[in-house]
Amino acid sequence: MAINLTSFARQLTIMAGILFFLYYVFHLVMPQNYTPFLYWAVIPYFYIVVMGSKYVLNVLTGGRKRGKFDVHFVNITMIRFLLYVSVVLIYAFLRPEDAIVFIITFFVFYFFFTLFEVVFLYRDLKKE
Digitized pLDDT (tens) for each residue of the chain, 128 residues in all: 556 788 899 999 999 999 999 999 998 998 878 888 888 899 999 999 999 999 998 888 876 656 678 888 899 999 999 999 999 999 999 999 999 999 999 999 999 999 999 999 888 777 76
pLDDT of residue 82: 97
The secondary structure of 11-41, three-state, reads: HHHHHHHHHHHHHHHHHHHCCHHHCCCCHHH
What local confidence, expressed as pLDDT, does residue 2 receive?
A: 57
pTM to 2 decimal places: 0.86
Q: Give the chain's domain count.
A: 1
Q: What is the pLDDT of residue 3?
A: 66
**32 burial class (0-12, 13-18, 19+ CB within 10 angstroms)?**
exposed
Asked if 97 and 36 touch (Cβ cutoff 8 Å), the reply is: no
Residue 35: alpha-carbon gap to chain centroid: 19
